[in-house]
Amino acid sequence: MNLLVKKLFLSSIFNACLFLVLIVGIQNSSNKSKVDFLIDETIELPISFILGSSFILGSIFGSFLVLDKINE
């Protein structure tokens, strides 16, 4: 399997597992907050969901970075 495809596949599986753990973990969360965008606000979401989803999105976008060095 191509190294890039393998890397993206493993990253997507890892992030899906993190998202499932996040959903299970926020069931008893009572602290809620809104996120201000430039145009509008979101609905009230648990703070743990906001932090967890931003971590997962950062992990997804970071997996697309190619930091390979040319072997000499």
Query: Is 31 within the bounds of a domain?
Result: yes
pLDDT tens, N- to C-terminus, the chain (72 residues): 677 778 888 888 998 998 898 888 888 777 788 878 788 887 888 888 888 888 888 888 888 776 665 554
* Predicted model pTM: 0.69
Query: Is 37 within the bounds of a domain?
Result: yes
Question: What domain range includes position 32?
Answer: 6-63
Query: Is 59 within the bounds of a domain?
Result: yes
Query: Is 41 within the bounds of a domain?
Result: yes
| Number of structural domains in the chain | 1
Query: Is 69 within the bounds of a domain?
Result: no
Instruction: Indicate the SS3 state at residue 34.
Output: coil
Please state, in angstroms and rounded to a whole number, the distance separating the CA atoms of residues 31 and 10. Answer: 32
Query: Is 30 within the bounds of a domain?
Result: yes
